[in-house]
Amino acid sequence: MKIFTAHQIYEADKSTIKKEQIKSDELMERAATQLFEWIHSRLRGTQVNIQLFCGIGNNGGDGMVLARKLQEHGYSIKVYVVNYSDKRSKDFLLNLERLKENKVWPDFINKESDLPQISPNDIVVDAIFGIGLNRAPDAWVGNLIQHINGSRAFVLSVDVPSGLPVDRNPWNKEYVIQSSYVLSFQLPKLVFFLPETGVYVNQWEIVDIGLNPDFIAKTDADFELIGRPEVLPMYRPRLKFSHKGTYGHSVIIGGSYGKIGAVQLATNACLSVGSGLVTAFVPKCGYDSLQTAVPEVMVLTGSREKGISEIEIPFEPTVVGIGVGIGLDGDTVSAFGNFLKKVNSPMVIDADGLNILSQNPEMLTDVPGLSVLTPHPKELQRLIGNWTSDFDKLEKAKAFASKYNIVLVIKGAHTITIYKGKGYVNTTGNPGMATAGSGDVLTGMIAGLMAQGYPSVEAAIFGVYLHGLAGDLGVSSKGYEALKASSLIENIGSAYSELFRQPEMEQKDNTQ
């Protein structure tokens, strides 16, 4: 699903209004009706106090329409207009009048007003600011936002949490609604997925308001949200008359004394994702344990016992995964640098492989084109330098990936794969995966997909999705804490099956 900027969303609104020859208030009615139906299907008339806080723009207008519909269906509502400006939008005013015609008179909250009482049992509808926010809320509006956040009520935000701009970080972190649930119109917003701004969103859901599909299809987006519909077309079925050679030969290079397990995990994951053949290259100390732990893997060793001091692969690998557990010994660094110079196969570089690159940036030009680098935030910082915000980080990451013609996988709660100026935001995975070896498994999986002929960027996007899905399936039986990297590998097969599982029939609501 595409992720649009605020500007693109306004353009989509305009094109819809033009194409369908409707008035803007009809689109607002349509949007808010969707909000109403979402609430109504869940509350089914329950008598709970619903307090609606509405701004004076179109986000507030949505709130006005929603208030009218809730009142028409007998809900107990209290409506406030957060009167932060006299530049009220036309559709807000229209819907304020319609609400008054229904004999609902909102209270106006101004600078001088007392803050209304909110009980933890109330439902708060947050329609103060939407995507039109273009500066910090005034202090008194910020105080109201903090008051709502402190109420412990369930807060349902319309489109975005109020105070959260969609294309940058908030001006004032305290002046942002902490949403329990965000009902966002048509397309997801990038801020929901970034570490600094995603914290304001507990859960989110898209409401389809029927914005012009042609416009959405033909407009390029810088970011895309990756779910099942996006990864399914990437899947490459296995052929009946194929053999192990059809699915490539991966080489995983890494390990040092005490860190051979990283190579076990990566090679095992590489095989489990479908690589035809897998060879490990490790120091001598890894030989016995690897042959025992993963008998399907072939093992080559260097000349030293505890670390890698030269890398000799006597054949041309389809793909090389390098760096897991490899360490930063001086000889290992030289071996890594020499290997980069002579190898042409695309690589997946992780862990200390990335740290070697950040300590020796001149090596970056030797990294084969279309290789995949998989840094976690600290490793990324060492590679691209400091950033001032997540938005700045993404810009720097894009520039870095383009400069070296590589795919950059920024690992996190929502891993973002960067390639050719675009970002692909992953939706699978969970905090149980923040565990030792999880990254080694990912390295093996991406390498294993490349071995099978997935283009690098698709291997990264598909691998990250499948890795997260394996984690989600693992958590359902093990829980967050007990999930280990090896459980991820055990679930790779189920993750593939899950991709093709038919969704259960959605239950129809008969609440009208």
Ligand X SMILES: NC(=O)C1=CN([C@@H]2O[C@H](COP(=O)(O)OP(=O)(O)OC[C@H]3O[C@@H](n4cnc5c(N)ncnc54)[C@H](O)[C@@H]3O)[C@@H](O)[C@H]2O)[C@@H](O)CC1
Q: Please report how close the Cβ of residue 75 comes to K ion at its closest, in angstroms.
A: 19
> Is 157 a residue that touches K ion (CB under 5 A)?
yes
- Near ligand X by CB under 6 A, which window of 118-126, 129-137, 285-293, 388-396? 129-137
* Nearest CA-CA partner of 84 in 113, 120, 125: 113
Q: What phi and psi values does residue 207 have, to the nearest 5 degrees?
A: -110, 130
> Is 41 a residue that touches ligand X (CB under 6 A)?
no
Rounded (10°) angle between helices 438-451 and 261-272: 40
Q: What are the start-end ranges of the H helices in 232-368?
A: 261-272, 287-293, 330-342, 352-359
CB nearer K ion, residue 95 or residue 157: 157
Containing 394, the helix (H) or strand (E) segment is helix 390-404
Half-sphere exposure for 75 (CA within 13 Å, toward CB): 27
CB nearer ligand X, residue 144 or residue 319: 144
Distance CA 393, CA 468 (A): 23
Residue 162 interface partner, choices ligand X, K ion, none, CB cut-off 5-8 Å depending on type? K ion
Q: Please report how close the Cβ of residue 162 comes to ligand X at its closest, in angstroms.
A: 8
Residue 80 interface partner, choices ligand X, K ion, none, CB cut-off 5-8 Å depending on type? none
Q: At residue 241, what is the residue type?
A: F
* Contact string 208-227 vs ligand X (x = CB under 6 A): -x------------------
Is 440 marked within a binding site? Answer: yes
The structure tokens listed for 494 are: 């189920």
CB nearer ligand X, residue 86 or residue 362: 86
Containing 496, the helix (H) or strand (E) segment is helix 492-499
CB nearer ligand X, residue 15 or residue 49: 15
Residue 133 interface partner, choices K ion, ligand X, none, CB cut-off 5-8 Å depending on type? ligand X
Q: Please report how close the Cβ of residue 233 comes to ligand X at its closest, in angstroms.
A: 30
Is 439 marked within a binding site? Answer: yes
* Contact string 306-335 vs K ion (x = CB under 5 A): ------------------------------
Give first-to-last CA distance, the chain, whole Å.
Answer: 30
- Near ligand X by CB under 6 A, which window of 128-136, 247-255, 349-357, 371-379? 128-136
Judged by CB under 6 A, the residue of 68, 124, 130, 464 near ligand X is 130
> Is 126 a residue that touches ligand X (CB under 6 A)?
no
> Is 131 a residue that touches ligand X (CB under 6 A)?
yes
Judged by CB under 6 A, the residue of 66, 125, 137, 373 near ligand X is 137
Which residues, 6+ apart, have CB-to-CB distance to 8 below 8 Å?
219, 221
Judged by CB under 5 A, the residue of 8, 16, 51, 162 near K ion is 162
CB nearer ligand X, residue 16 or residue 268: 16
| Class of residue 266 by CB neighbours under 10 A (exposed 0-12, middle 13-18, buried 19+) | buried
Q: What phi and psi values does residue 407 have, to the nearest 5 degrees?
A: -105, 130
Q: What phi and psi values does residue 426 have, to the nearest 5 degrees?
A: -80, 150
Q: Please report how close the Cβ of residue 101 comes to ligand X at its closest, in angstroms.
A: 20
Distance CA 397, CA 380 (A): 8
Residue 283 interface partner, choices K ion, ligand X, none, CB cut-off 5-8 Å depending on type? none
CB nearer K ion, residue 155 or residue 397: 155
Residue 185 interface partner, choices ligand X, K ion, none, CB cut-off 5-8 Å depending on type? ligand X
Judged by CB under 6 A, the residue of 39, 50, 53, 57 near ligand X is 57
Q: Which residue in the block uniquely carries the two structure tokens 């995949």?
A: 372
Is 143 marked within a binding site? Answer: no
> Is 58 a residue that touches ligand X (CB under 6 A)?
yes
Q: What is the DSSP letter of 143?
A: H
Q: Which residue in the block uniquely carries the two structure tokens 């972190």?
A: 173
Is 86 marked within a binding site? Answer: no
* Contact string 84-123 vs ligand X (x = CB under 6 A): xx-x-x----------------------------------
> Is 63 a residue that touches ligand X (CB under 6 A)?
no
Is 248 marked within a binding site? Answer: no
* Nearest CA-CA partner of 211 in 30, 53, 52, 476: 30
Distance CA 457, CA 317 (A): 19
Counts of helices then strands in the chain (DSSP H, E): 17, 18
Distance CA 299, CA 83 (A): 70
What DSSP line would sit under 271-297, residue for residue?
Answer: HHTT-SEEEEEE-GGGHHHHHHH-TTS
* Nearest CA-CA partner of 455 in 236, 244, 272: 236
Q: What is the DSSP letter of 302?
A: -
Q: What is the CA radius of gyration of the chain?
A: 26
| Class of residue 150 by CB neighbours under 10 A (exposed 0-12, middle 13-18, buried 19+) | exposed
> Is 158 a residue that touches K ion (CB under 5 A)?
yes
List, as residue ranges, the binding site for K(+): 59, 126, 162
The annotated binding site is made up of 58-62, 126, 130-136, 159, 162, 262, 325, 376, 411-415, 439-440
Q: Which residues bind ligand X (CB under 6 A)?
A: 13, 24, 27-28, 31, 55, 57-62, 84-85, 87, 89, 129-138, 158-159, 185, 209
Binding residues for (6S)-NADPHX: 58-62, 130-136, 159, 262, 325, 376, 440
Per CB under 5 A, residues contacting K ion are: 126, 157-158, 162
